[in-house]
Amino acid sequence: MAEHLVMQHADWLAEGERRFGSDAMRWRFVCPSCGHVASVQDWRNAGAPSGAVAFSCVGRYTGADHSNTFKHAGGPCNYTSGGLFVINRLFVMTADGKETPVFEFAEVESAGEGARA
């Protein structure tokens, strides 16, 4: 298995705020499978449960099929971090010591007008 990075939950929250501001709906993440960038608002608009944010590609909730999964072709796709193949590089450690795979934050320049609002 490839080496992965672990962040404490509080540090992860602080990084999101540093990159995108205090409105978490504007925080953006990159699917490790297809490369699609989505905001928390995108997951909400798609009707995804809150636990899907940065854990499953938004495409799972917009009807995307498997054709973009694992191809890093821009997506969206139907990848989930809870499946057989966990390709996430970033894990968040909760207070109870559990490591949860999450999507990495998008670069600020990928956030367009949403950054630092």
The pLDDT assigned to 111 comes to 46
- pLDDT tens for 72-104 read 888 999 999 998 889 999 999 999 999 999 999
The pLDDT assigned to 113 comes to 42
* Neighbour count for residue 41 (Cβ, 10 Å): 16
- pLDDT tens for 20-63 read 999 999 999 999 999 999 999 999 999 999 999 999 999 999 99
